Amino acid sequence: MLPGTNRWNRGQKQPRTRTLRRLLILCEDTKSSCLYLRQFPFDPNQVQIECVGTGMSTDSLMEEAIRRKEKAENAKAPYEQIWVVFDKDDFPMQNFNRAFDLARAHPTILACWSNECFELWYLLHFCYRDTGASRTDIWKLISRYLSDRYDKASVKVFEQLKPKLDDALRNAARLAYQNGTGPDRHRNPSTNVHELIKVLRNHDPAKQMP
């Protein structure tokens, strides 16, 4: 027996280091969507979720997602999913469309869009909306429902909306169904934010999705 060898441990497998599932959320803004999404709870012993505000938009944001994906893979710590959160807003349609074209070649990168803006998801907590509205109009409606001026930099929005989250999920699913299976991202209003929210709720230790 070699010096320092424990004969009782011979033939036993060494314990493997546990690898956590990793999710990355890249937001075009550093306020509204980023501040909101960061507040969803998760068990850090089960999953690692990082939400980053970038200040980028549409196709440039998607290019950043691809760069981070490749960097993580090279480091042998790949992301299970990367969600890229951006708005149609007043960006040129060609840039908006290119973001989806870039994502198509990367199955783990998922576009999370809103047309016209992320705050449509907030509005769906209070009512169903299937007619077009500008960002300014949506902000005014949210302020009315909150009985307070909407502030995209406020960290209170998550708790204010939380009691109506199930209503928002139903309204968003209804809107997606009404928009059909075509290029609904081109329609105002349209969003698939609810798909990301379902993923985040699935990692909530206090409430697992059925």
- Tell which residue, 142, 202, 132, 145, has the closest CA to residue 169: 202
pLDDT of amino acid 182: 58
pLDDT tier for residue 209 given thresholds of 50, 70 and 90? very low
Closest CA to 83 of 145, 37, 123: 37
Residue 91 has pLDDT above 90, yes or no: no
Task: List pLDDT tens digits, range 16-61.
Answer: 555 789 999 999 999 999 999 999 999 999 999 999 999 999 999 9
Higher-confidence residue of 181 and 156: namely 156
Residue 71: phi and psi, rounded to 5, are: -65, -45
pLDDT of residue 181: 62
Domains of the chain, start order: 19-202 (3.40.50)
Neighbouring CB atoms inside 10 A of 181's CB total: 7
6 pLDDT higher than 70: no
- Please determine, for residue 5, whether its predicted confidence score (pLDDT) is greater than 50: no
pLDDT of residue 15 exceeding 80, the answer is: no
Residues of the chain with pLDDT > 90, as a percent, come to 81
In terms of Cβ atoms closer than 10 Å to its own Cβ (0-12, 13-18, 19+), residue 100 is middle
How much of the chain exceeds pLDDT 70, in percent? 89
Q: What is the average per-residue pLDDT within 76-104?
A: 94
Q: What band does 90 get if pLDDT is binned at 50, 70 and 90?
A: confident
Give me the chain's average pLDDT, please.
90
Q: What pLDDT is recorded for position 64? A: 98
